[in-house]
């Protein structure tokens, strides 16, 4: 090999590895600016040791200005920031078996974060498929600019209630010599979707599971009730108007005992 070829081969053997080293070092340990060939999409802040994607002023160790996609899982010990409902289509926190912690306050269903004074504020409807455990429920009414609280009454056992009015009258089926007046509710013949229809179909209807409170209107009267099949029958000694309150054990009342272990 000629001396000229030897010199050329030596230079190539030395300069190429050095050049590669400088390129790799400049990409992995830059003093600032974009990595070689990055086209500005990937930016490294050497002063603060931060990486920016599609931005040149990263505020975090890794700062992305657009969408992050993952085929599996993105894990983090802490989540800090805000989420806009307009940018969220569907999603699940956790695997359905963990906990979602709210460190301060959370607003749901709102276009902007507004401090309503609550840890959780939901603008819209909330649906819970199992059980909601709370200390006090207070529906709020705003009257002339002032908020007023009304409170939901507690009850032992899982029950459904409804109220209504009726009037005792003579019945065509009564014997001519009878001295009572009657009002009948046949739950199998009620309008679908009415209050009484719905109450009947959500309870365990029977003599043992239903309680009835009766109050005559405007005058004294003796009124009693009894149950026959799907019928609730009121009888009294006067043809008076009356109001009633029906309380029935819900169809699944056995699944909700008074003692809880959760």
- Between these two residues, 237 and 124, which has the higher pLDDT value? 237
* Averaged pLDDT for residues 107-128: 71
Angle at the Cα of 213 from the Cα atoms of 212 and 218, rounded to 5 degrees? 140
Q: Determine contact, residues 42/53, Cβ cutoff 8 Å.
A: yes
HSE on the CB side for 33, CA within 13 Å?
A: 8
Per cent of the chain over pLDDT 90 is 40
Write phi, then psi, for 244 (nearest 5 degrees). -140, 155
Residue 12 clears pLDDT 70, i.e. is over it: no
DSSP state of 159: E
Q: What is the chain's length?
A: 262
Per-position b or e across 63-102, b if 16+ CB within 10 A of its CB: beeeeeeeeeeeeeeeeeeeeeeeeeeeeeeeeeeeeeee
pLDDT at residue number 201: 98
Per cent of the chain over pLDDT 70 is 65
Residues in contact with 116: Cβ distance below 8 Å, sequence separation at least 6, in sequence order = 107
- Between these two residues, 32 and 224, which has the higher pLDDT value? 224
Q: Count H helices and E strands in the chain, helices first.
A: 2, 13
Which residue carries 């993952």 as its tokens? 70
pLDDT at residue number 23: 45
Residues in contact with 240: Cβ distance below 8 Å, sequence separation at least 6, in sequence order = 167, 168, 181, 216, 217, 218, 219, 221, 223
pLDDT at residue number 235: 94
């Amino acid at each position: 090999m000629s001396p000229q070829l030897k010199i050329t081969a030596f230079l190539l053997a030395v300069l190429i590895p050095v050049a590669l080293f400088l390129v790799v070092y400049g990409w992995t340990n830059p003093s600032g600016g974009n990595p070689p060939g990055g086209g500005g999409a990937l930016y490294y802040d050497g002063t603060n040791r931060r990486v920016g994607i599609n931005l040149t002023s990263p505020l975090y160790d890794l700062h992305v200005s657009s969408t992050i996609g993952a085929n599996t899982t993105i894990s983090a010990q802490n989540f800090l920031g805000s989420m806009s409902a307009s940018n969220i289509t569907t999603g699940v926190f956790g695997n359905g078996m963990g906990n979602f912690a709210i460190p301060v306050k959370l607003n749901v269903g709102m276009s902007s974060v507004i401090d309503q004074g609550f840890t959780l504020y939901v603008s819209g409807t909330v649906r819970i498929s199992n059980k909601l455990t709370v200390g006090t429920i207070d529906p709020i009414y705003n009257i002339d600019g002032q908020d007023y609280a009304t409170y939901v009454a507690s009850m032992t056992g899982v029950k459904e209630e409804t109220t209504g009015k009726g009037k005792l009258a003579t019945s065509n089926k009564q014997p001519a010599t009878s001295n009572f007046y009657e009002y009948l509710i046949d739950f199998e013949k009620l309008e679908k979707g009415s209050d009484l229809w719905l109450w009947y179909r959500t309870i365990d209807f029977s003599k043992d599971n239903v309680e009835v409170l009766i109050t005559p209107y405007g005058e004294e009267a003796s009124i009693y009730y009894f149950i026959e099949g799907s019928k609730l029958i009121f009888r009294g000694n006067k043809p008076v108007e009356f109001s009633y309150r029906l309380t029935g054990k819900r169809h699944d009342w056995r699944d909700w005992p008074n003692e809880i272990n959760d």
